[in-house]
């Protein structure tokens, strides 16, 4: 796999900053979901670049109470170091979500319910997220500006075309648009950029005793993968060779063929 050059990373960064500024100038009120993982933290880094060190909108953690202790510690440290405007949104209990979903997907659906409650209370018209097209097949159908219905549901067949960096969207009453400034990045891009920029990250991504977390979800639905990559250089080298999917450690992705698609079409991130 070819190695990304600085100019490649500069081009990715430039497009993301353009999208962030476009979103901030055209959608209001707006907030960003911060999962505290590698992608959303790299995106947060670019938010601070886009707005000259400032973060001009709330950073929202949809909190199920089941994040890893290391994730909460990392969040608290970065909030203090970067003086972030953070909103911690407690998600409703599992008993409130679709009982026909498999167990892991039911737990993940708590975040969809938490986001709906946040939108209803705060009235956000735009939500910025750090998802990528290469991360999961259903996400490959996304647009950069992705309109959502009043209930948060999403129909891939009705997404507007996006040509020449023009992002058409309409936000009707009680609806919102999701903005995805990292869609054009890959997992490798994120780690190469994280290394170049010296962006902090949760230490769970590094291998200990032959295991590491490649993708961070809640502690009860995420398992580590076999790996000896204990530095960023070793993570990058590993990803240049592996054919294992990034979300191999996400248990809900392996419960049923349609579980993730059902989550996404009903409002999951």
Where do the structural domains in the chain lie, given as residue ranges? 6-186+256-265, 201-253
Contact in structure between 18 and 50 (CB atoms under 8 Å): no
pLDDT for residue 266 is more than 60: no
* 152 vs 259: CA distance, rounded Å: 17
Q: Where are the beta strands (DSSP E) in 195-242?
A: 211-212, 225-226
Can the peptide bond before residue 29 be classed as cis, meaning omega within 30 degrees of 0?
yes
Reading the block at residue 27, the tokens are 């959608």
Percent of the chain with pLDDT over 90: 55
| CATH architecture of the domain formed by 6-186+256-265 | 3-Layer(aba) Sandwich (3.40)
Exposure b/e, 181-214, CB count within 10 A at least 16 = b? bbbbbbbbbbbbbbbeeebebbebbbbeeeebbb
Predicted local distance difference test score (pLDDT) of residue 174? 76
Residue 8 scores a pLDDT above 90? yes
pLDDT one-digit tens code per residue, 187-228 = 999 999 999 999 999 999 999 999 999 988 888 888 899 999
The Cβ of residue 152 has, within 10 Å, a number of other Cβ atoms equal to 20
- Give the pLDDT confidence score for residue 29 in this predicted structure: 95
């Amino acid at each position: 796999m070819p190695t990304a050059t600085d100019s490649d990373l500069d081009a990715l960064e430039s497009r993301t900053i353009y999208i962030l500024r476009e979103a901030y100038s055209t959608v209001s009120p707006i907030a960003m979901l911060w999962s505290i993982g590698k992608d959303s933290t790299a995106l947060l880094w670019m938010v601070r670049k886009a707005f000259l060190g400032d973060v001009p909108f709330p950073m929202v953690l949809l909190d199920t109470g089941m994040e890893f202790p290391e994730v909460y510690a990392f969040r608290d440290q970065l909030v203090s170091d970067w003086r972030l405007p953070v909103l911690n949104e407690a998600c409703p209990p599992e008993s409130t979500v679709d009982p026909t979903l498999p167990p892991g997907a039911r737990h993940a659906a708590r975040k969809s319910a938490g986001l709906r409650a946040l939108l209803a209370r705060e009235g956000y018209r735009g939500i910025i997220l750090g998802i990528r097209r290469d991360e999961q097949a259903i996400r490959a159908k996304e647009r950069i500006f992705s309109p959502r219905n009043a209930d948060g549901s999403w129909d891939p067949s009705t997404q507007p075309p996006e040509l020449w960096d023009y992002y058409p969207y309409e936000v009707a009453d009680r609806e919102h648009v999701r903005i995805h400034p990292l869609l054009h990045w890959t997992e490798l891009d994120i780690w190469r950029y994280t290394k170049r920029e010296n962006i902090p990250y949760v230490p769970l991504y590094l291998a200990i005793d032959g295991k590491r977390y490649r993708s961070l979800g809640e502690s009860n639905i995420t398992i580590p993968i076999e790996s000896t990559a204990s530095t960023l250089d070793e993570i990058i080298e590993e990803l240049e060779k592996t054919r294992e999917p990034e979300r191999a450690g996400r248990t809900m992705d392996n419960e049923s063929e349609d579980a993730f698609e059902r989550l996404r079409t009903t409002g999951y991130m």
